[in-house]
A and B are shown apart, each in its own frame.
Chain A
């Protein structure tokens, strides 16, 4: 009986949380498309996500491309398939590692910052103050972040793709002594538009999820500095897990029939 009651209660709490998130998402999305929009807020968020994340995403991509070339060389040389390295690097980067690693880095950087900023605004009553100044907090705070996440993370991933492939190229040519021209040829040879497109679709969805989790946890934080800290942690952890789960689902959608 006690067990049943506990299970039931946990299930109800789960339903409530899911419902609350769904309502939050629906409301925030509707504010993304209904004027007035706040161009200044959108710009600020775009710069924060798109520009200031460049160094960390670039470095991640560079070293990932480099290590990928190195690893596949040591693996593939066991069955004389060194020639496939360029292809392996470009496919892994564009389809998987570019969006996932950029997503995780941005989740740590931006998701945390969003949760902390909005959470602080919540506990210091700034969100209440917004409402009394006839400004809808979903429209002013959440919608610009969602729009920026949705548009900027794909751009970051384009950059990550290029830098990652370049990292593989550097290792391939300068360390593993491939011919530069043939490495570049090999990179292009088997690359299909869908490889890049699927990666960018992932990036857009990850960007949206990161901003959504940052805003949602910040918005519902309570209880001072400790509450804001918990919101920040929850935002990063939930965004990271969602990225990994959705990555699998999207990959399944794009490549299941092949």
Chain B
């Protein structure tokens, strides 16, 4: 692990976080720090627990053991009212978008503004339409129902919702999956902009190395429920770590073995 500056409290700090489902150990002692205003990209194979890690930080899943601190405050044992307050700081794009299908698109995007910040609906709608514009969606999409959108459009609405109330910390779970390469780059730019302009702290999960290179200050690789490597984005091609090398270059042979039986 590269040492992060200890003079300031990290925005998010995980120590020895474990989580299992039934007999299956998913997180196996995660240690990770994210500095304020930093953009961290988490890479790692499918099913290695990246989404579970994000959900544990948010408290949507309760870790079995370990410590999760946000702004230096322990969050694993918060009561629901305190948790609600903490979550004001967060925005999250879910891997499956998780849009509210009983509400039109604009109300999805404006949800945090209306319910969380008690903004008048008309004002919230204007902001929602502006955010939709930022993810490349036209105002006529605003009145549609989420089920009328394509997968990539839903993803972008989810993104607009995650950034709508300008949270301090934003989690993006595979923001560019299912988008065409041009739109993917637009989204990359948007994420960079959120971090630079709003001073937000971002954690992004992605399998898209082009996207990782573009948005990451730092990269962390997760393997078998542990963070096995973290480093600067520019060091990613000469990490000196065989696992990272194999992943970054997308090779089938290497230390990471896929459990596949030949036909």
Contact = CB atoms under 8 A, between A and B. Distances in A.
Contact of A125 (B80, B91, B96): B96
Contacts of A128: 55, 58, 60, 94, 98
B58 A132 contact: yes
A140 B166 CA distance: 22
A18 interface: no
A133 B94 contact: no
Given A134-B112, A135-B116, A136-B80, A129 B88 contact: no
Report the interface size class on chain A.
Answer: 10 to 19
Given A135-B111, A136-B80, A129 B94 contact: yes
Contacts of A120: 101
Among B55, B84, B98, B161, residue most surrounded by chain A Cβ atoms (within 10 Å): B98
Interface string A118-131: 00110011101111
Contacts of A132: 58, 60, 87, 90-92
B96 A131 contact: no
B259 interface: no
B46 interface: no
Interface in A102-157: 117, 120-121, 124-126, 128-136, 140
Nearest to A135: B115
A132 B86 CA distance: 9
B99 interface: yes
Contacts of B96: 124-125
B247 interface: no
Nearest to B164: A133
Main secondary structure of the interface of A (DSSP, over half): helix
Contacts of B101: 120, 124, 126
B113 to A, nearest CB: 9
Contact of B98 (A129, A135, A140): A129
A133 B60 contact: no
Interface in B43-87: 55, 58-60, 80, 83-85, 87
A121 B98 CA distance: 8
B196 to A, nearest CB: 23
Interface residues of B, number: 25
B100 interface: yes
Nearest to B121: A40
Contacts of A126: 98-101
A133 B112 contact: yes
A129 B92 CA distance: 8
A130 B98 CA distance: 9
B219 to A, nearest CB: 24
A134 B88 contact: yes
A134 B98 contact: no
A124 B108 CA distance: 15
A1 B61 CA distance: 37
A130 B59 CA distance: 13
B43 to A, nearest CB: 22
Nearest to B100: A126
Contacts of A133: 87, 111-112, 115-116, 161
Interface of B: 55, 58-60, 80, 83-85, 87-88, 90-92, 94, 96, 98-102, 111-112, 115-116, 161
9 contacts: A121-B100, A126-B99, A126-B101, A128-B94, A129-B94, A131-B84, A133-B115, A133-B161, A136-B84
Given A124-B96, A133-B111, A135-B116, 19 more contacts: A117-B102, A125-B94, A126-B99, A128-B58, A128-B94, A129-B92, A129-B98, A129-B99, A129-B161, A131-B58, A131-B59, A132-B58, A132-B90, A132-B92, A133-B87, A133-B115, A134-B116, A135-B111, A136-B80
Nearest 7 CB-CB pairs, A to B?
Answer: A125-B98, A129-B98, A134-B116, A133-B112, A132-B92, A128-B60, A135-B115
